Amino acid sequence: MYNLSYLISQIQSSPTLALNDIANQLRASGADVINLGIGEPLNDFPDSVLASTKKILDTRQIKYSPTSGTKSLKTAIQSYTLDHYGREPELHNITVTVGAKQAIYNLLQVLLDPGDEVLMFKPYWVSYPEMVKLARGVPVFVETNNEFMPDMEIIKAALTEKTRAILLNTPNNPTGAVYPPELVAALVDLCETKEIFLIMDDIYHQLLFEPAQWVPGYVFTSKKFDKSHLVIINGISKTYGMTGFRIGWAIGPKPIIHAMNKIQSHSTSGTSSLLQEAALGALTESGDSLPELKKLIRTNRDILIEELRKIKGVKLNEPGGTFYCFPDFRAIHNDSQELAQLLLEKAYLATVPGAAFGQEGFLRLSFTCSTEEIVESTARIRWALDPESSPEINIGGQTLFRDWELSK
């Protein structure tokens, strides 16, 4: 028997990664599994990434990088921020991390004392509350309406003297919702006025579907980087198809970034110098590969939504961005863990239960796979959940019969 810390006993494992492992195990056993559970785009990384990494590999000099990132990559992030946010940070306002997730983790470690509170909107990304707990903080969940939009009066009512930050993710994981400019403006004003940090997780900011509009938070404040309470989180994973490269960054006031670098110096030391060169290639020489990715995921989104709406009892909002949708299955079955397990075991379809995001009765479906797999996925969902559909289906050359009944 091992005695583990009280803190680790309060932390849940990532359900998205756990389900991905199960899906991979089923695949390895020969099952024809389609994975709608993992947030990973299909697109190849840009050719410029190969060129930049080969160049540094040929030198055979892959050594430690500065804790906050190489100057060349930070300069590229500086230019990227100017292009997309309309503001140019100083290099001291930027730190490069092992993925955007580590940027949020380091930031929370810097900001929170035990018992400090961080507001987040339901449904939330699965790692937000766990990272707050790891920093000895308290996650505070703010309810949203049927379109997953929070109300400013409810947000204000949730504030206490212990509120230290608000987490904002738009376009949103898991819902695909894009918060309107007036809501972002109100949040920026609230946080700047009350000196609460607004952590803006912008990792999906380029993955939008018209007419949705993403507006950078800096539009709504005149404060300089070193006076503002905005901290921007971003990275290369989603836009460039580079999830495995694990390069993210944070932009914020110099004292906050300096403190984050102290945390990083005692954990990962810094990010890989090789992978930073890869990120540099993506940011500076990749050309415009984004339209092809957006075309694929929009096609997949439209097919998925159209077919799900044919299933009696399923409700959903059309995602304005990302590559996720978050349908409501409560009229069919209100235990999302059981529902996800049924789809995986019976229909070989991996999804993520809404309970992991704080919203029971929903499932998160990622539509980053091929269009053919999306079409097949909708057929499997309908077969599994709609009693009026055919009692049999062919999956991977095997005819399966529906031999169960759903009970709420």
Looking at the fold, whether 214 and 253 belong to one and the same domain comes out as yes
User: Is residue 407 included in any domain, yes or no?
Assistant: no
At 44, the pLDDT band (50, 70, 90 cuts) reads confident
d(CA 339, CA 356): 13
pLDDT in tens, 93-108: 999 999 999 999 999 9
Residue ending a domain, among 285, 313, 347, is: 285
Residue 267 belongs to some domain of the structure: yes
Q: In the prediction, which pLDDT does 407 show?
A: 67
Which CATH number characterizes residue 18's domain?
Answer: 3.90.1150.10
Q: Which amino acid is at 212?
A: A
Give pLDDT tens digits for 266-278.
999 999 999 999 9
Q: With cut-offs at 50, 70 and 90, classify the pLDDT of residue 46.
A: confident
Looking at the fold, whether 305 and 346 belong to one and the same domain comes out as: yes
Residue 67 and residue 219: Cα distance in Å, rounded? 30
Tell me, yes or no, whether 1 lies in a domain.
Answer: no
Alpha-carbon Rg for the chain in angstroms = 22
Q: How far apart are CA 322 and CA 157, in angstroms?
A: 29
Q: Residues 18-34: pLDDT tens digits?
A: 777 787 888 888 889 99
Place 342 in a pLDDT band, splitting at 50, 70 and 90. very high
Domain span including residue 250? 58-285
Indicate whether 370 and 232 sit together in one domain: no
DSSP string, 149-208: ---HHHHHHH--TTEEEEEEESS-TTT-----HHHHHHHHHHHHHHT-EEEEE-TTTT-B
Average pLDDT over the chain, rounded to whole? 94
- The answer on 352 and 258 residing in a single domain is no
Query: Which one of 220, 255, 285 terminates a domain?
Result: 285
Do 72 and 166 lie in one domain? The reply is yes
Residues 277, 140 share a domain: yes
b/e per residue 107-146 (b: at least 16 CB within 10 A): bbbbbbeeebbbbbbebbbbbbbbbbbbbebbbbebebee
Ramachandran sector of residue 131 (left: φ over 0; alpha: ψ -120 to 50; beta: rest):
alpha
Domain shared by 212 and 318, yes or no:
no
Is the domain of 272 the same as that of 294? no
Three-class secondary structure of residue 22 per DSSP: helix
Q: Indicate if 273 and 311 belong to the same structural domain.
A: no
Q: What is the pLDDT of residue 237?
A: 95
The tokens for 173 are: 């994981």
| Dist CA 338 CA 342 (whole Å) | 6
pLDDT one-digit tens code per residue, 107-148: 999 999 999 999 999 999 999 999 999 999 999 999 999 999
Q: Assess if residue 38 is contained within a domain.
A: yes
SS3 category, 140: strand
Instruction: Find the angle CA(33)-CA(34)-CA(38) to the nearest 5 degrees.
Output: 120
- Is the predicted pLDDT of residue 54 greater than 80, yes or no? yes
Domain boundary among 260, 285, 310: 285
Q: List pLDDT tens digits, range 316-333.
A: 999 999 999 999 999 999
Provide the domain count of the chain. Answer: 2
Task: Select from 66, 399, 87, 30 the least CA-distant residue to 264.
Answer: 66
Tens of pLDDT along 201-239? 999 999 999 999 999 999 999 999 999 999 999 999 999
Q: Are residues 222 and 246 in the same domain?
A: yes
Spacing of C-alpha 181 from chain mean position: 20
Contact 272, 70 (CB under 8 A): no
Q: Which distant-in-sequence residues (6+ apart) come within 8 Å of 139 by Cβ?
A: 117, 118, 120, 128, 129, 132, 133
Same structural domain for residues 263 and 370?
no
Rounded to 5°, the CA angle 108-109-113 comes to 95
**Is 408 within the bounds of a domain?**
no
What are the tens digits of pLDDT across the range 356-408?
A: 999 999 999 999 999 999 999 999 999 999 888 899 999 988 899 998 888 66
253 by DSSP, 3-state: which? Answer: coil
Q: Does the structure show a pLDDT above 80 at 334?
A: yes
- Domain assignment present for residue 53? The answer is no
User: 235 in a domain, yes or no?
Assistant: yes
Whether residues 268 and 218 fall in one domain:
yes
